[in-house]
Structure 1
Amino acid sequence: MSQNASDCNALTYVNHQSIEPSSKRRRLNSEEDQLVDGQNTYGKTTLSGQSSAIFGNFHGTHNHYYDHTKNDGDATSVPDRRKRLVASLMFKRMDARQHNIATAMPKTCTWLFRHNEFKQWTDDDEMSQHGGFLWIKGKPGCGKSTIMKGALAWANKQKSKRNWITVSYFFNARAPGVLEKSTLGLYQSLVHQILQVAPQFMSDFEDMFSWKAVDDTIVWTITELQGFLLQVARNPERPSLCVFIDALDEGDDKDVRALIAFLEDLTDDMDSMPALRVCLSSRHYPHITIKKGLSLVVEKQRDHDCDIETYVRRKLLVADDTNASDLQVAVCRKSASIFLWVVLVIPILNHMHDQGKSVGDMMRYLESLPKDLEGLFAEILARDTDELRSCVSLLQWVLYASRPLTAVELYLAIQHSWARPEDDEISIPQDAPLSRYLLNSSRGLLEYTKSEPQTIQFIHETVREFLVGTSGLAQVDPALKDNLHGWSHAKLSQACLSYFSRTYSRLPSDIHDIVKNDLLPGTPRHIRVDIRGKTDSEFPFMQYAVENILVHAEAAQQNGVQQDSCWRLLIKGDFGVDDGWRVLRNIFEKHDIRCFDSKVTLLYVVIEMKLPTLTSILAAIPGAVDVECGRYGSALQAACHGGNEYIVQCLINHGANVDKKGGEHKHSVLAAIHGKHFHIARLLISHSASPNLGMLLKTMSRYYDRASEEEISILHDLSLRPGVYDNAEIGELLCLAAGRGITAFVARLLPRVSDVDLVCTDNRHTKYDTALVAAASNGHLEVVSLLLDHGADIELTGNHKLTALAEAVSNGNLQVVSLLLDYGADIEVIDNHGLLILIAAASNGHLEVVSLLLDHGADIEVTGSHGLTALIAAARSGKLECVKLLVNRGANVHVVGLGDSALSRAAGDGHTEIVKVLLAAGANANDGCFALNKAARWGKFEIVKLLIDNGADVNASDKESLYRVPLCAAISGSKYAIVELLLSAGASIDVQLGMHEWLPLSFHDGFMTTLEHLLKTKQTEYAEKIRQLHDMQQWTHYNHSSTCQISAPQARVSLPRGDVFKMDIRSILG
């Protein structure tokens, strides 16, 4: 069995490689962690009590926010987008539970792999019998997690042999963060692990969630992650998958039941798929029924008892005695197969042995011990009354601290729990004495974690459950009996305040200078980091104390213990905040934007910290609610962005102005919308809140693309309130809603506008002038139909001079085009590039739209500017199917527009298949547009050959071109293969070239490289022809402002800035 108590409930650490180095992994910000921690400590310490309050319903409300700083950038590239998405799945302490479990003792826990149920579970032939489920159950503390750790380690060793991948999640009710003990955390962890061990699913993950990467904050929901897991499970090419989930009983009961239902859905219909196995562990209660599966009970296994016997023999330090074996047997028998019971009792027996007690004394003590864990815990606490005050304080701190504390932090917290102002300075003992102090004070109920930094935790969740029960800590200290939670939090708040007050004067002088001169916010980050480091080093409990004074005061007040004496010490003047506390809080804040300036009120601070009870007290101070301050401009806007409905309602009840302007989001409604707290927005609207139209439209245009129907409806309700906006403003809303395709909203707006054809004059929030054009451009058929039925002018163009039909054609919206044509839209209009719509459709390759326009009578030979036809437009754009359609419908293949025929444009741009279609349709390779010349210039070898094969004249001269014959064009581009092809096809160097008066320098460069190539490839006949070509000509080179004569056998070309380029042809030819 395990070597320490934490073996009972943890998992083997699996080092999943991150996409980024661990030092660069993005982490959750401290504010969010503190909020979660704070909620965990209010009044309840068991997860079942917390999770329902925090998470709400299972579907759609389990949100976790992942904050990205400005340094993240837009992450538009695929690697950046992937990194952001994958990193957002991670959370603090994601692997902590498994990392904090020691490895089982040698030769223990191996019985599982010989067990019949386990062997059936791993047998592919048995999958149909058990559906892939194995459920390991046992009493609290029996060692289930240690067994699960061993099972996971065994499965990992089998990966290559069995071609499977393993993923795992261990619920951890003792964790400070919600994601460590929630099904949302489970899904995030499982998906993250799958992406690490099976990167072939990365592209699927990105395809499914790339839309989320555009947000500054990535929010995950259970439904989204379930969708991805379903896609993985249904992939026939995936490897077999083993899922290990430990300590289900430490999750919320409702969520866990939904999880089991999802896992059953996941494993259904897997007959033709790779195996999917799920191994679960939990206590016997709560009972959850599954359709089919295997199960085993740990405490009923004889081999498990043998493991306990092995542990007792190795750990019970009894000198040679004839009764030693009897004591070992007695311990095993009394344990009732509960490993944790053994772990707690053996140190006590060893201590008795060290004190000289006999085996008989130990046997008698053993007989007096309770068999159940709760009774044993009570006995341990009652056994030694020395330092009882330290014991109670220590247990209170571990129970109610908002995050796990280090040994040094715990020591200072305990000492300041009863320290008086006049007491001497408290010094910190060395590591060894400190460890002994904590061990003795905890009576063995606490342990160090293995994760860094090392913190202190209960050895098992059953210890926490016992201490908060009626026979737990309240029995040890009767003063706590009537209100354990309230008085405990009050003690912790007072200890934090005591530490802050007693040590403030001894802080580094830098801090006092900042306070004196009011330099925060605004102090450079590197200075703050330096001060933070000094403070942490010299005053290790200061950060916790400053950040949690009010957190614990809130929890105490919430549980009925008045905290006026606490918060009044932090208030300055009527509403402000103590400068020393504020500056220290800012120093420990990692994000500049979250720092508080000197104008901030204590009410604003507790609202940003989401402390509702203290809010209700401070809001009652006359004049406090509408003080202008802070990042969000007012207490109400901060509350709306934070999303706590109780706090918002409290402020409204105390007279907060719901339409107060200012702050980051300018208005309380918009602050709620930006925070995605739409229930808060509805609450404000019900209290007549009305942001101005400009702010509303900016928010609506931002959220329309990705908002849910519920979210949109909130914005709609706000915009539709009678008498708030005039007709022109409603017209803007109509245009925006039409462009986004929100049919229901358009239908509600239409009765409120006097003119459905109202042209928008302000296009800051939508690029369209009219609702019909907006809807048509984006392909929203239902909205277009609705607007036409309400009399919208089908030919109205607005300021941009575009009709609805032109926009629909340009974007290829076939159904909308069809509808508009049926309503009689003019087919001869132009698009936003000045092209007739048939030409535009052909150029964009909208095949079905082209066909539809032709069916409705569009002239196939209609010409736009410079004689461009639909066929030429399609050919130059490489739209093969449109070319085929137009040719088949009788388009003239000989028409010239913009100086080109369809053939010459296709040839020059390298559209080989289109060239073939046009030639087959009768296009003339010598049509006067010099297709061969263009293809030669741009190196389109296959097309050059195709044109020559179809009779193109290799010596045809284009007087308008810089390169009048194909041979010169090919030479200029150094297209060696084409030069050879033209020469072999009869290109003549004796033809009267009549070269252009101004010849680009590129010809001479091409001439030299072509000549060198021919010589290197020993094609001397062609090389000599090229040399003769050069010798025959006298060319004038034009190079911006310089001209010069070029002649053989030596040429000088004057370049800008006086450089000289020489080429000795005869030396090249040898």
Structure 2
Amino acid sequence: MCLDLYQAETKFACLQSLSFEEIDDRLNDIRESHPNTCNWIFETIQFEQWKNRENIANSNGILWIKGKPGAGKSTLVKFIFLRAKELFPDYIIGSYFFNARGLPLQKSFLGMLRSIVYQFLDQDQQQFDRFIPMFLDKNKKHGTSKNWAWHPGELQRFLLEMLRFKLKPTILFIDALDECHDDEVKETISFLEKLSAAAVASNVVLNICQSSRHYPRYSIRKVTELVLDNRTEHNQAIEKYIEGNLKIEEDSIKTELLEKADGVFMWVILATRMLNDAYNDGRLKATRRKLDQIPSDLDEVFRTILGRDNPHQEQTVLMMQWILFSESTLHQEQIYEAVLAGTDPEALSNQDAIVPEDIEKYIISTGRGLIECVRRKGGTHVRFIHKTATDFLLRNNRLKMLDPSLTSDVIGSSHSRLAACCLAYLETEGFDNSHPESQQVSRDRHPFLSYVNKNLFYHAERAQARGVHQHEFLQKLQAEHLLFQRLKRLHDTDYNSSEYAKYGTDTSLLYVLSLNHCAELTRVLLNDKNFDVDVNARAGYFSNALQAAAAASSFLRDKNENTIRILLDAGADINAKGGRSGTALQAAVTSIHRYAGNFEVRVTSAVVEMLLKAGAEINTECGYYGNPLQAAAAAFGYGQNLPSNRIIRMLLDAGADINAFGGHYGTALQAAAATEGDMFFSGYDEYFPVDTIQLLLDSGAEVNARGGYFGNALQAAAFSAAYTSRNGCSFLSSRYNTSNDLKAVVEKLLENGADINAQGGYYGNALQAAASNAIYYPRIVLQALLDAGANVNAQGGHYNTATQAALAACHSSHSEHQQGFIVQVLDMFLKAGAMDAAESKRTFYQKYEWDIADIELYEQSGWLALVQAREDRRKPPPELSW
């Protein structure tokens, strides 16, 4: 039962590491095909050959659908995909629909790989069994999957290797290749070509259906192409659409509309809408004039739509800027408030009467029919009706034509305007944020507030980086104290704001910019004497701006070297002490704890090197960890062993004292052995720092050095190894090879002379430290300690004896399994000669109210027999048949 549950949870976690929230959004966004407009595809020679694999020597199983922008390629691919189960019974079916208007993963090669691997694993248990060791290995090296990401290379290798293991017949749909990142399109197409060729070579059935525009032009050697342009069947599908949607029955208008469409479905959708609007008053001549006025080029249609008399032009342009340049997709309520903030902020104070239906009408009307509202799980999102609208606005300065006030750098001036909108929104009367309760009310009543909180500086920084000056933006925040305080309070009460990410009420604007890696805004603030900024002002969790920037180098997953360099050039004291991290160097090293992926450690290495070259003192004693070396040694427990060792070597080469005493753990060796002992940064599982321990010992670390929370390294290792046992029942270790890992650090320290019965620290000795985690049944660790000569009757520490430590783990809320773990630990100690074990067992029985029958059965037959008996008792009596 426990094993099945663990396997199910592991599979779920593995699949979740590949998935992402928007993984199916584009597929769901594409409208269902209009009735009888796509069936023709099944009757084409190209589709028949692809489906039946009749021309495999020349196509390698690839069908490439091509067409003009707006021709309906995505609708066609979705139509085939939705019918794939009946067309390809017993096939594994996967798909990916690129989305240039989506978030980064939705338009990336990596997003495609993660999605199709997820789908293959979910449908093929054999391939999942091959993949799971990769997942477990990454978890072991990097912590839980929330703190690392899959690399394209390893997923490509897995997909190619799948073919060697005779993958089941598979079909793959890849839509809108041209909507992949520009620099990744060629890589994506090349990989699909390579995958198809490898499948043929391995005699594996793999059909790939992919679609794209004609440009950018890429080619592959073996493929079957199906081009929609001027294809009779496609034009007939457009004709069916016109028949079903145009209100006018005049055949000549329908014929001319079809001819002008030139195979572009999006054009005919827009044109039909415009003609229906013109026909609403019943005047056929006016409709004919409108048809004559509609350009045949799709871009010109957009120009016509946006060029009509528009009394709300400012709101239209701003709404389009938000959709084009927002950091994340906005809900309809958010974009409604965002537009009002930039055009009519006074209207924001009276929104009680507005309902979602009114907001949707406002958005569609203001967007001139080019913007739509799409219902999603988390709310109704706003987007352009088609990628061609985005293309139109971003090409040839068209956005500037709509709003001449924009500078020649449309992107930079747009970000500047969005930053101004965010600031105007913050200034709105009615935000009562003096208390957490009122702040939550503000969030509920003002949906745009969460976006402003997260992205105010994002827009201002990007505007400044493109040369659109943000002096006025900075002056407003610097001069208006109440506005800046409001911003900080709103940010710090965000449920996602951890202690280290909070601004604090006493911090300066410079500190906030440094924490948000806003290098360009920081430069402006420091270079302009009118701002009168003290670069060494003390405030905030990290004490000063330099520490904040150093820490942000990793935990914000972004390079912050430029900000650090700007601060140093402005006179920041590189060795200023204060805050939890003590110094900038320790803050930079500690930042490894936040996200311990390879990329972040590389960034941290660069920052550490910069600080050392700038004169950072390496053995200064201060901060939570006492010194940078101890901070680096503690980092391994949060996901990265070898990369953290790289930091440790850097510090040792720079003169770090291997046995420097101080900080929470006393020494670097104890910090390394503590793994999950540091509750401040808890949350990473199943990682064992054998290599780090060996590196420190080889560098001269004293194995029995005393001091720190655990008293010595062995006690830290015993506690942590026992605590890590919590991740599953003890018998799981044989399946997933964790038994040796659990005791590896303990044994490594013992091999190097650690005193098994050394006294000191919170738990008194190593055995008591391990026993305090009895509810996780650390049998392997406890047995290793007992075998090495641990004195089961040693006294001292918080619980006085190891037996008392195990008994103290008892709690009435514990599950039946946890009760079993504790009593079995007490039995281990009784067998080992613990003088207080028998009495502790009696106390345990009373605590959990075991009756005589339970006690006798356990003593005679063991824990599993008792569990089975209890389950039998809980079963309902059989129904009697009369």
TM-score (norm 2): 0.68
| CA shift for structure 1 position 343 | 1.0
- Relative distance call for 1:591 and 1:414 in structure 2 (3 A) is closer
Residue 572 of structure 1 and its aligned partner are, at CA, apart by 7.1
| Alignment deviations for residues 555-579 of structure 1 (CA, whole Å, 9 cap, x no partner) | 33333333333333334799x9822
Looking at structure 2, the residues matched to 587 and 740 of structure 1 have their Cα atoms a distance apart, in angstroms, of: 40
Determine if the alignment matches structure 1 residue 268 to structure 2 residue 197.
yes
Pick aligned residue for 1:638 from 543, 548, 551: 551
Separation in 2, partners of 1:376, 1:571: 46
1:307 aligns with 2:307: no
Change (3 A) 1:654 1:550: same
Q: 2:569 is matched with which residue?
A: 653
What residue in structure 1 maps to residue 664 of structure 2?
none
In structure 1, which of residues 239, 242, 250 is the aligned counterpart of residue 171 of structure 2?
242
Tell me the distance in 2 between the aligned counterparts of 1:354 and 1:449: 26
Please list the CA deviations of residues 599-649 of structure 1 after superposition, one character each: whole Å capped at 9, or x if unmatched: 333333333333332232345553235534126873233332333232232
Partner of 2:590: 671
Q: Equivalent residue of 2:266, what SS? A: helix
State the distance in 1 between where 2:653 and 2:485 align.
46
Q: Could you tell me how far apart the structure 1 residues matched to 2:692 and 2:391 are?
A: 52
| Residue number among 446, 468, 490 corresponding to 1:584 in the alignment | 490
Contact 1:577 1:602 in 2 (8 A): no
- Distance in 1, Cα, partners of 2:490 & 2:703: 55
Corresponding residue to 2:50 among 112, 118, 121: 121
* 1:389 is aligned to 2:314: yes
Helix, strand or coil at the partner of 2:380: coil
Q: Is the 8 A contact 1:134 1:294 kept in 2?
A: yes
Answer yes or no: is 1:173 the counterpart of 2:100. yes
Query: Matched residue of 1:449: which SS?
Result: strand
**What amino acid does structure 2 have at the position aligned with 1:648?**
I
Q: What residue in structure 2 maps to residue 716 of structure 1?
A: 649
Give the corresponding residue for 1:949. none
What amino acid sits opposite 1:228 in the alignment? F
- For 1:602 and 1:715, the matched residues in 2 are separated by 33
Deviation (angstroms), 1:441: 2.2
Q: Residues 606 and 614 of structure 1 are in contact (CA less than 8 Å); yes or no, is this contact kept in structure 2?
A: yes
Corresponding residue of 1:809? none
**Match for residue 770 of structure 2?**
none
Question: Which residue, 210, 214, 220 being the options, matches 1:290?
Answer: 220
Letter in 1 for 2:182: D
Match of 1:598 in 2: 505
Mark the runs of 5 or more structure 1 residues left unpaired by the alignment.
1-74, 515-522, 769-777, 780-795, 802-830, 837-1000, 1007-1070
For 2:549, give the aligned amino acid.
L
Secondary structure class of the residue paired with 2:71: coil
- The one-letter code matched in structure 2 to 1:169 is Y
Task: Judge conservation of contact 1:658–1:668 (CA < 8 Å) in 2.
Answer: no
Instruction: Please show how residues 49-448 of structure 1 align to structure 2 within 5 Å.
Output: 77-124=6-53, 126-159=55-88, 161=89, 163-175=90-102, 177-214=103-140, 215-216=143-144, 217-220=146-149, 221-236=151-166, 238-271=167-200, 272-318=202-248, 320=249, 324-359=250-285, 361-419=286-344, 425=350, 429-448=354-373
Deviation at residue 480 of structure 1 after TM alignment: 1.9
Aligned residues: 679
> Is 1:672–1:681's contact at 8 Å kept on the other side of the alignment?
no
**What secondary structure, in the 3-state scheme, does the structure 2 residue paired with 1:149 have?**
helix
Structure 2 residue identity aligned to 1:635: A
Give a deviation string over 1:799-842, Cα, whole Å, max 9, x none: 669xxxxxxxxxxxxxxxxxxxxxxxxxxxxx999899xxxxxx
Please tell me the residue identity of whatever aligns with 1:339.
F
Q: CA deviation at 1:367?
A: 3.4
1-side partners of 2:347 and 2:693: how far apart? 72
User: Percent identity between the aligned chains?
Assistant: 27
Match for 2:402 among 456, 476, 490?
Answer: 476
Provide closer, same or farther for how the CA distance between residues 172 and 665 of structure 1 changes in structure 2, counting only shifts above 3 A: farther
Residue 740 of structure 1 and its aligned partner are, at CA, apart by 5.6
Is the Cα–Cα contact under 8 Å of residues 682 and 714 in structure 1 kept in the other structure?
A: no
Q: Residues of 2 paired with 1:609 and 1:150: CA distance?
A: 45
Contact kept, 8 Å, 1:138 with 1:298, in 2: the verdict is yes
Name which of 514, 517, 523 aligns with 1:616.
523
Pair 1:696-2:616 in alignment: no
Cα distance change, pair 707–118 in 1 and its aligned pair in 2 (3 A): same
Q: Which amino acid aligns with 1:568?
A: Q
Work out the CA distance in 1 between the residues paired with 2:788 and 2:105: 57
> For 2:173, what is the secondary structure of its paired residue?
strand
Match for residue 748 of structure 2? none
Tell me if structure 2 keeps the 8 A contact 1:640–1:671: no
Distance 1:150 1:422 in 2: 44
Give the secondary structure class of the aligned counterpart of 1:167: strand
In the alignment, is the contact (CA less than 8 A) between 2:316 and 2:366 conserved in 1? yes
State the match for 1:981 in structure 2. Answer: none
Distance in 2 (CA, whole Å) between partners of 1:582 and 1:759 is: 46
1:770-789 Cα shifts (integer Å, max 9, x gaps): xxxxxxxx99xxxxxxxxxx
The answer to whether structure 1 residue 569 and structure 2 residue 495 are counterparts is no
Q: What is residue 459 of structure 1 aligned with on the other side?
A: 385
Read off the aligned partner of 1:615 and give its amino acid letter. Answer: T
Give per-residue Cα distances to partners, 1:80-109, cap 9 Å, x unaligned.
Answer: 444333223222222111112221111111
Q: Aligned equivalents of 1:257 and 1:588: distance in 2?
A: 41
Residue 552 of structure 2: SS of its match in structure 1? helix
2: CA distance between counterparts of 1:758 and 1:631? 31
- The amino acid that maps onto 2:327 is S
Q: 1:664 to 1:309 in 2, by over 3 A?
A: farther
How far apart in 1 are the matches of 2:634 and 2:443? 45
Q: Distance in 1 between matches of 2:122 and 2:419?
A: 42
The alpha carbon displacement at 1:415 in A equals: 2.5
Who is 2:414 aligned against?
A: 488
The alpha-carbon distance between structure 1 residues 684 and 539, as it changes in their structure 2 partners (threshold 3 A), is same
- 1:839 maps to none
* Aligned partners of 2:471 and 2:524 also within 8 Å: no
The 3 A distance-change label for structure 1 pair 181 and 798 is same
Q: Alpha carbons of 1:128 and 1:710: their partners in 2 closer, same or farther (altered >3 Å)?
A: farther
SS of alignment partner, residue 566 of structure 1: helix
Q: Is the 8 A contact 2:636 2:672 kept in 1?
A: no
- Which residues in structure 2 correspond to 1:1027-1038 (within 5 Å)? none
In structure 2, what residue type is equivalent to 1:463?
A
Question: Secondary structure of 1:245's match?
Answer: strand
Contact 1:132 1:276 in 2 (8 A): yes
Structure with the greater relative contact order (CA < 8 A, sep ≥ 6): 1 or 2? 2
CA distance in 1, matches of 2:639, 2:333: 48
Question: Equivalent residue of 2:83, what SS?
Answer: helix
In 2, are the aligned partners of 1:577 and 1:601 still within 8 Å (CA)?
no
SS at match of 2:396: coil
| Matches of 1:502 and 1:367, distance apart in 2 | 47
> 1:191-244 CA deviation, whole Å, 9 max, x = no partner?
2222333344333332121133351443122123223323433322x3212111
Aligned equivalents of 1:97 and 1:535: distance in 2?
Answer: 32
Q: What letter matches 1:133 in structure 2?
A: I
- Distance in 2 (CA, whole Å) between partners of 1:291 and 1:218 is 40
CA distance in 1 between counterparts of 2:336 and 2:753 reads 74
Which residue of the partner structure matches residue 629 of structure 1?
540
Mapped to 2, the partners of 1:482 and 1:166 lie a distance apart of: 47
C-alpha change, 1:288 and 1:833, in structure 2 (3 Å) is same
TM-aligned CA deviation for residue 430 of structure 1: 4.5
Deviates more, 1:623-632 or 1:90-99: 623-632
**Native 8 Å contact 2:542 2:548 kept in 1:** no
- Structure 2 CA distance for partners of 1:436 and 1:250, relative to 1, 3 Å: same
2: CA distance, partners of 1:304 / 1:672 = 57
TM-score normalised to the size of structure 1? 0.57
Q: Tell me the amino acid that sits aligned with residue 589 of structure 2.
A: L
Q: Tell me the C-alpha RMSD between the 2 structures.
A: 4.2
2:459 maps to 1:557: no
